[in-house]
A = this chain, B = another copy of it.
């Protein structure tokens, strides 16, 4: 049995516990997880014994070549086609992904099915399973992380005063793609000088000056799997104040990494980074959570936020990314992708975290 078939079987086996006879999978990432399909319009109906895959004619050739199970190529809404199969199979309780199904789509499904059939909202059960990565998934994530760091190294050499933020972002994404990435895992952030204090700045036409911070937050998607890394460097010799800030963020980041091990709550890892920044009176400048899971999506459970009770477990891939943002002065973030292991964790990101001066 292939890994994908194993996943389906595991999810199917959980259906009874969810009080559902079948499951309609609508999230693109979950569809990919259970079928390998990487198009934009796919839907899976999973029964205890069968997999029905629905897509439109644009993907007919690809779907028939690559997807095991019954492939239905449909003109019009996929959900209507799925509703027909649901009735034909005499399913009584159909689970749906309530975190991914829009209110209107739910109503359309409801209207297409007899009232005797019950629609069961199921939470993020597939996402919960996805939190723990298989050896094959870890291998791809590792390659995605390495690819991302290689792109970073290549671009680092070309950064100099006069270059625009958007040139650097373009170069980062170009290198990712040449190295084999499907695409960036998210919009690359390149923010220089005071703009680095905007945690999610879009790269603009601002040209690098001689003496300032440069924050780069970048990730690749390789075979669907994301990587995520942030590095902050300085053009010209940094003033002591900036160096001190950098060291505080790095200290917090290392404390976060040191806190990662199976059984620890996500909230405790968040507290570890936050406490270091508090010691440096920088906790108010740390305006986001410590990190997040990643895999087929750039943001997946767990979330490493304040008081988050999720227990870390072997095989989770997460980011550790504290940062400080002080309007008009500085923005510094340091982020690695990290794998939870039996003994603690492995930092997958190979790029140096020394404060690089260009």
Contact = CB atoms under 8 A, between A and B. Distances in A.
A218 to B, nearest CB: 13
A170 interface: yes
Nearest to A62: B198
Interface in A311-344: 325, 327
A180 B166 CA distance: 7
Contacts of A99: 102-104
A38 B123 CA distance: 29
A9 interface: no
A355 interface: no
Q: Is the interface of A mostly helix, strand, loop or mixed?
A: mixed
Interface stretch (A81-89, A133-141, A199-207): A199-207
Nearest to A171: B174
Of A170, A180, A325, which is in contact with the most chain B CB atoms at under 10 Å from its CB? A170
A7 interface: no
Given A98-B103, A180-B205, 13 more contacts: A39-B200, A57-B287, A58-B287, A58-B288, A59-B199, A61-B197, A61-B327, A62-B200, A98-B104, A99-B104, A170-B178, A173-B173, A177-B203
A114 to B, nearest CB: 20
Interface string A194-237: 00011111110100000000000000000000000000000000
Contacts of A104: 98-99, 121, 123
Contacts of A150: none
